[in-house]
């Protein structure tokens, strides 16, 4: 009976995390020696009840510092930068070990790292390149989905930029440092931060994360095409694919650039800032086609806009234009298809969706005009009805007056029954 | 000459079979008291007029409406976009339904403030309250029929509230929904309530209500001296005035329908999450907001249950007004009743506004 009474207490003791003398002692120290212990409380490893000794060696169960930090107990102290990836990989590349904590997590990070520019340079003894802790932080490592993690999609560009936007650090590598600034002006950054679309491309989406390297050498179109599938398909069939093969640093980048990708518009096709005019003379076939394509796309966009405005006006007056609004969505899809087809650089390919969209714009504009006309008819009908009602009320009033002035005992004094 | 003879012959023919001159005689003797509160008498007539509009427009809508989940929304859309004057009929039906309930409320409060519930008009009062209930049931059942998103989710909330009624809630919820959730079976039975059960109940109650008004005459407020009150003949004097008011109501109704056509919204998708800002029709806003305010548990009771008890008590107080609002000598407890009515009206207005805004 007495044993049963103690069982809950025993069970709670068994569930307590193991003793960690490293955190206990370092929490009472100052400055740099105290900081890791303070940070470690929020670390993903601490949450999984792993101790400092997992990386630094030693005996976390001993209260005696000479024993706890004894080389005999495997204490290795501060890990050298060049040894960090291998140390992390000792657990993270072991599928049997990782299965206990994160069964679905990949275990090929170290293998990928070795293929990266960072990994290759580290192998050659360059300790200034990024290792695991430069991106994931140290002592306060958090899961990628944790908004406070430096590798969270919203924070990753700044994390990469920490080194790659540092001109002094990048000087010896002869790498430009404008990528972060350019990226922050791009449509991808806008999608990520303004629309809150965490799936929007960040540095790792194109360059890879653990296997990070510039993609322009092998496969720009393939990188862009991993999201922009149809654009890639049209481009692959176009004359430009042969003229600017992506393997030679061409492809999408030629027109759209890389990090600072702006929202595309027809100004890229025609006008003083046209990208096409960089290669095509204005009176050449390519130049003429670019101007023609811009004109057709603008024409469709304007026609759809006019229809939308007219429909919005009809909607404001309470007219039912739901069918036309649905049709207008199809028209907007045609515009998207036309913009897509532009990547084939074939006039006929662009013309098909433009013509289909213009037809829809015409239809929906007609529907909006009909709704607005119907609104006017209703108002006229209402005015006529109100006039009729007013006349009827007036006639009734005169009738009452006539009846009551004729003295046919209209108002009487009576006792209520 | 021929016309006069035809009228006389027809009149005699009808008199032989219906004795309609007796009715004419009765009508010619019907009078309406004329005093400072006579204008309140018109609200009963306006309610009757709007109810007639509801019947006419409802029958016209029935020609095209299809009460199935697959077809309800599209049939209403068809009425509004393809049927000649369908938009007007549907819009008038919706606006008139709302105006009708508003007018019935005004009529009810006018009866309370003029203390027309006093003996011998207890049954007139009771049938009037029952009519208010029927009109609200019309509104609740009709709201679902277009099967749009707002009405679907608002009906779900309403049915859930009904299902939390003590003792009978579970059965009531299943009866209303025709199952565990608002679905095709709910639409079918709401349609049946709306076009068969409720109209039959409303017409029966209305006939009784009108007969009782005819039997007991129009009530005069207690502050008017009954000895000195003037009387106006119902036919034609008061009736013509009533007709003017009906014309006015028709004008307002037509203007609302033409300038602010009743929206259809989007087709309900039972698998989609409930959109934000779901709320019932305005006349259910006050109880809806009250239920939102009540904590989940109050002492030993569930909050929702407490709210339902509260509304039940309110309904019971309303129905029994002729019992607790009248002294033994038949005179009205004016101060107490006026105070309670002001409280009720303030509650309804304030909580409806809060329910709409928040």
- Residue A265 token pair: 């518009």
State whether A23 and A155 are in the same domain. Answer: yes
Q: Cα(A323)–Cα(A321) distance, rounded to whole angstroms?
A: 6
Place of tokens 């309406």: B32
State whether A360 and A377 are in the same domain. Answer: yes
Judge: B87–A416 Cβ closer than 8 Å, yes or no.
Answer: no
Calculate helix-pair angle for B122-144, B184-192, nearest 10 degrees.
140
Full domain range(s) for residue A97: 18-214
The enclosing domain of B95 has a CATH number of: 1.20.810.10
Determine the residue among B233, B246, B260, B267 to mutate to test chain A binding: the one whose Cβ has the most chain A Cβ atoms within 10 Å.
B233
CB atoms closer than 10 angstroms to residue B36:
9
How many Å lie between the alpha carbon of A333 and the closest alpha carbon of chain B?
21
How many Å lie between the alpha carbon of B94 and the closest alpha carbon of chain A?
14
State whether A197 and A222 are in the same domain. Answer: no
Determine, yes or no, domain membership for B352.
no
Task: Show Cβ contacts of residue A322 under 8 Å, excluding neighbours closer than 6 positions.
Answer: B77, B264
Does the CB of A320 have a partner CB in chain B at under 8 Å? yes
Enumerate the residues of chain A whose CB falls inside 8 A of the CB of residue B31: 412, 414
Phi, psi of B77 (to 5 degrees): -60, -40
The parts of chain A modelled with pLDDT lower than 50 are 1-4, 7-17, 217, 409-410, 413-417
pLDDT tens by residue, B79-90: 998 899 999 999
State whether A148 and A23 are in the same domain. Answer: yes
pLDDT, average across residues B118-129: 96
Enumerate the residues of chain B whose CB falls inside 8 A of the CB of residue A378: 88, 258
Pick B237's closest partner by Cβ from A319, A381, A410. Answer: A410
- Residue A35 token pair: 């900081």
> What was the pLDDT predicted at B297?
84
Determine, yes or no, domain membership for B305.
no
State whether A48 and A146 are in the same domain. Answer: yes
Determine, yes or no, domain membership for A351.
yes
Determine, yes or no, domain membership for A56.
yes
Whether the CB-CB separation of A135 and A84 falls below 8 Å is answered with no
> What was the pLDDT predicted at A11?
44
How many Å lie between the alpha carbon of B177 and the closest alpha carbon of chain A?
30
Give CA separation, A31 vs A23, A140, B353, in Å: 14, 16, 59
Phi, psi of B31 (to 5 degrees): -130, 160
- Return the SS3 of A290: helix
Domain closes at, from A238, A256, A274: A256
Enumerate the residues of chain A whose CB falls inside 8 A of the CB of residue B228: 413
Determine, yes or no, domain membership for B26.
no
> What was the pLDDT predicted at A216?
54
Determine the residue among A396, A397, A403 to mutate to test chain B binding: the one whose Cβ has the most chain B Cβ atoms within 10 Å.
A396
For A367, nearest residue in chain B (alpha carbons): B81
Determine, yes or no, domain membership for A82.
yes
pLDDT-derived band of residue B304, with 50, 70 and 90 as boundaries? confident
Place of tokens 């200034």: A128
- Give A8: exposed, middle or buried? Use CB within 10 Å, 0-12, 13-18, 19+: exposed
B 84-143 residues with CB < 8 A to A: 87-88
**CA atoms within a 13 Å half-sphere pointing along the CA-CB vector of B294:** 21
Enumerate the residues of chain A whose CB falls inside 8 A of the CB of residue B248: 389, 393
Phi, psi of A411 (to 5 degrees): -110, 125
Determine, yes or no, domain membership for A343.
yes
Of A264, A244, A242, A262, which Cα lies nearest the Cα of A252? A244
Does the CB of B26 have a partner CB in chain A at under 8 Å? no
- Residue A129 token pair: 């390149």
Whether the CB-CB separation of B29 and B217 falls below 8 Å is answered with no
Determine the residue among A315, A319, A322, A406 to mutate to test chain B binding: the one whose Cβ has the most chain B Cβ atoms within 10 Å.
A322
The sign of the CA dihedral A129, A131, A134, A139 is negative
pLDDT tens by residue, B154-206: 999 899 888 888 888 899 999 999 998 999 999 999 999 999 999 999 999 99
- Residue B12 token pair: 């005699």
- Return the SS3 of B298: strand
How many Å lie between the alpha carbon of A135 and the closest alpha carbon of chain B?
39
Q: How wide is the angle at C-alpha A69 spanned by C-alphas A67 and A74, nearest 5°?
A: 100
Q: Cα(B29)–Cα(A357) distance, rounded to whole angstroms?
A: 73
Of A149, A258, A161, which Cα lies nearest the Cα of A214? A258
Q: Cα(A54)–Cα(A43) distance, rounded to whole angstroms?
A: 13
How many Å lie between the alpha carbon of B199 and the closest alpha carbon of chain A?
29
Phi, psi of A384 (to 5 degrees): -65, -40
- Give B7: exposed, middle or buried? Use CB within 10 Å, 0-12, 13-18, 19+: exposed
A 377-406 residues with CB < 8 A to B: 378-379, 381-382, 385-386, 389-390, 392-393, 396-397, 399-400, 403-404
For A405, nearest residue in chain B (alpha carbons): B237
How many Å lie between the alpha carbon of A152 and the closest alpha carbon of chain B?
29
Number of structural domains found in chain B: 1
Whether the CB-CB separation of A58 and A22 falls below 8 Å is answered with yes
Whether the CB-CB separation of A108 and A93 falls below 8 Å is answered with yes
ipTM of predicted assembly, 2 dp: 0.85
Pick A412's closest partner by Cβ from B226, B230, B258. Answer: B230
Determine, yes or no, domain membership for B261.
yes
pLDDT tens by residue, B196-223: 999 999 999 999 999 999 999 999 999 9
Enumerate the residues of chain A whose CB falls inside 8 A of the CB of residue B236: 403
Enumerate the residues of chain B whose CB falls inside 8 A of the CB of residue A389: 247-248, 250-251, 254
Give CA separation, A160 vs A74, A197, B264, B281, B292, in Å: 34, 19, 51, 55, 49
State whether A176 and A47 are in the same domain. Answer: yes
Enumerate the residues of chain A whose CB falls inside 8 A of the CB of residue B261: 318-320
pLDDT, average across residues B226-255: 92
Full domain range(s) for residue B166: 38-279
- Residue B267 token pair: 């087709």
Whether the CB-CB separation of B320 and B123 falls below 8 Å is answered with no
pLDDT-derived band of residue B273, with 50, 70 and 90 as boundaries? confident
> What was the pLDDT predicted at A1?
44
Judge: B233–A390 Cβ closer than 8 Å, yes or no.
Answer: no
Pick B217's closest partner by Cβ from A381, A390, A417. Answer: A417
Place of tokens 């806008």: A190
State whether A198 and A227 are in the same domain. Answer: no
The enclosing H or E element of B158 equals helix B149-163
> What was the pLDDT predicted at A15?
43
How many Å lie between the alpha carbon of A271 and the closest alpha carbon of chain B?
43
If you count residue pairs, one on A and one on B, with CB atoms under 8 Å apart, how many are there? 83
Where b means 16+ CB within 10 Å and e means fewer, B109-118 reads bbbbbbbbbb
DSSP state of B148: B
- Residue A303 token pair: 């026609």
**CA atoms within a 13 Å half-sphere pointing along the CA-CB vector of A108:** 6
> What was the pLDDT predicted at B107?
97
- Return the SS3 of B67: coil
State whether A319 and A336 are in the same domain. Answer: yes
- Residue B38 token pair: 């006579």
> What was the pLDDT predicted at A149?
94
Q: Give percent of chain B above pLDDT 70.
A: 100
Average pLDDT, chain B: 93
How many Å lie between the alpha carbon of B340 and the closest alpha carbon of chain A?
29
User: How many residues are present in chain B?
Assistant: 358
Determine the residue among A324, A388, A393, A410 to mutate to test chain B binding: the one whose Cβ has the most chain B Cβ atoms within 10 Å.
A393
CB atoms closer than 10 angstroms to residue B228:
9
Cis check for the bond before B278: say yes or no (omega within 30 of 0): no
> What was the pLDDT predicted at A48?
86
Task: Show Cβ contacts of residue B224 under 8 Å, excluding neighbours closer than 6 positions.
Answer: B33, B35, B36, B37
Phi, psi of A413 (to 5 degrees): -100, 125
Pairing state between β B31-34 and A411-413? unpaired
A 327-386 residues with CB < 8 A to B: 378-379, 381-382, 385-386
- Give B46: exposed, middle or buried? Use CB within 10 Å, 0-12, 13-18, 19+: buried
Determine, yes or no, domain membership for A271.
no
Beta bridge partners of B148: B267
Determine, yes or no, domain membership for A59.
yes
Beta bridge partners of B297: B302
Determine, yes or no, domain membership for A268.
no
> What was the pLDDT predicted at A414?
44
Greater confidence (B67 vs A416) lies with B67
Judge: B254–A389 Cβ closer than 8 Å, yes or no.
Answer: yes
Does the CB of B299 have a partner CB in chain A at under 8 Å? no
Beta bridge partners of B34: B230
CB atoms closer than 10 angstroms to residue A174:
6
- Residue B279 token pair: 């709320």
Q: Cα(A319)–Cα(A376) distance, rounded to whole angstroms?
A: 11
State whether A26 and A150 are in the same domain. Answer: yes
> What was the pLDDT predicted at A251?
79
Determine, yes or no, domain membership for A265.
no
> What was the pLDDT predicted at A369?
97
> What was the pLDDT predicted at A244?
76
Number of structural domains found in chain A: 3
State whether A56 and A176 are in the same domain. Answer: yes
CA B300, B302, B304, B308: dihedral to nearest 10 degrees? -50
For B216, nearest residue in chain A (alpha carbons): A417
Pick B244's closest partner by Cβ from A320, A378, A393. Answer: A393
Q: Cα(A141)–Cα(A139) distance, rounded to whole angstroms?
A: 6
């Amino acid at each position: 009976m007495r044993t049963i009474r103690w069982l809950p207490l025993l069970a709670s003791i068994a569930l307590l995390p193991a003793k960690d003398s490293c955190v206990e002692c370092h929490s009472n120290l100052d400055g740099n020696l105290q900081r890791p212990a303070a940070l470690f409380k929020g670390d993903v490893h601490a949450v999984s009840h792993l101790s400092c000794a997992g990386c630094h060696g030693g005996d976390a169960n001993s209260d005696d510092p000479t024993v706890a930090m004894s080389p005999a107990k495997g204490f290795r102290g501060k890990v050298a930068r060049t040894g960090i990836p291998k140390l992390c990989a000792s657990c993270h590349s072991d599928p049997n070990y990782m299965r206990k904590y994160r069964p679905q997590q990949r275990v090929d990070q170290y293998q990928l790292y070795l293929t990266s520019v960072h990994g290759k340079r580290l192998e050659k003894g360059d300790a200034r390149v990024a290792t695991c802790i430069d991106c994931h932080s140290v002592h306060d490592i958090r899961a990628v989905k944790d908004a406070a993690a430096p590798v969270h999609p919203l924070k990753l560009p700044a994390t990469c930029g920490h080194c790659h936007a540092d001109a002094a650090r990048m000087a010896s590598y002869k790498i430009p440092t404008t990528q972060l600034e350019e990226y922050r002006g791009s449509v991808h950054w806008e999608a990520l931060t303004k629309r809150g679309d965490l799936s929007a491309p960040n540095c790792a989406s194109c360059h890879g994360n653990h296997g990070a390297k510039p993609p322009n050498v092998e496969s720009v179109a393939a990188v862009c095409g991993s999201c922009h599938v149809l654009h890639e398909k049209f481009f692959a069939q176009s004359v430009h694919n042969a003229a600017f093969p992506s393997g030679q640093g061409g492809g999408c980048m030629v027109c759209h650039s890389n990090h600072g990708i702006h929202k595309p518009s027809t100004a890229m096709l025609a006008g003083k800032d046209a990208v096409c005019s960089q290669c095509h003379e204005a009176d050449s076939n390519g130049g003429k086609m670019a101007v023609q394509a811009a004109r057709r796309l603008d024409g469709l966009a304007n026609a759809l806009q006019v229809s939308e405005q007219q429909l919005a006006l009809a909607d404001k007056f309470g007219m039912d234009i739901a069918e036309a609004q649905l049709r207008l969505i199809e028209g907007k899809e045609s515009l998207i298809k036309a913009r897509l087809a532009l990547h084939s650089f074939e006039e006929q390919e662009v013309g098909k969706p433009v013509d289909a969209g213009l037809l829809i714009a015409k239809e929906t504009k007609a529907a909006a005009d009909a709704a607005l006309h119907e609104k006017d008819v209703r108002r006229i009908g209402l005015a006529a009805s109100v006039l009729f009602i007013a006349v009827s009320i007036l006639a009734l009033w005169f009738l009452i007056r006539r009846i009551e002035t004729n003295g046919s005992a209209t108002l009487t004094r009576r006792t209520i029954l | 000459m021929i016309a006069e003879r035809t009228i006389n012959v027809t009149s005699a023919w009808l008199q032989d079979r219906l004795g309609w001159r007796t009715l004419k005689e009765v009508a010619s003797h019907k009078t309406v008291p004329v005093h400072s509160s006579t204008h309140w008498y018109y609200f009963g007539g306006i309610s009757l007029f709007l109810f007639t509009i509801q019947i006419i427009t409802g029958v016209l809508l029935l020609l095209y409406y299809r009460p199935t989940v697959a077809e309800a929304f599209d049939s209403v859309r068809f009425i509004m976009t393809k049927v000649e004057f369908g938009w007007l009929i549907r819009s008038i039906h919706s606006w008139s339904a709302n105006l009708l309930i508003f007018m019935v409320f005004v009529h009810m409060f006018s009866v309370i403030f003029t203390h027309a519930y006093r003996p011998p008009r207890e049954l007139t009062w009771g049938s009037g309250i029952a009519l208010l209930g029927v009109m609200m049931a019309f509104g609740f059942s009709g709201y679902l029929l277009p099967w749009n998103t707002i009405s679907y989710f608002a009906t779900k909330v309403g049915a859930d509230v009904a299902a939390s009624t003590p003792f009978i809630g579970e059965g009531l919820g299943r009866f209303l929904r025709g199952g565990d959730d608002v679905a095709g079976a709910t639409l079918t039975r709401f349609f049946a309530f709306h076009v068969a059960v409720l109209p039959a109940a409303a017409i029966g109650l209305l006939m009784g209500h009108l007969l009782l008004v005819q039997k007991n005459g129009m009530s005069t407020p207690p502050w008017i001296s009954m000895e000195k009150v003037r009387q106006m003949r119902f036919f034609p004097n008061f009736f013509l005035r009533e007709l003017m008011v009906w014309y006015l109501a028709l004008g307002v109704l037509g203007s609302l329908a033409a300038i602010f056509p009743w929206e259809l919204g989007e087709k309900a998708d039972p698998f989609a999450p409930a959109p934000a800002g779901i709320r019932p029709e305005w006349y259910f806003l006050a109880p809806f907001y009250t239920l939102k305010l009540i904590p989940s548990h109050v002492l030993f009771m569930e909050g929702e249950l407490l709210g339902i008890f509260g509304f039940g008590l309110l309904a019971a107080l309303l129905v029994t007004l002729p019992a607790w609002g009248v002294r033994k000598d038949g005179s009205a407890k004016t101060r107490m009743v006026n105070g309670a009515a002001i409280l009720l009206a303030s509650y309804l207005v304030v909580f409806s506004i809060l329910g709409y805004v928040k």
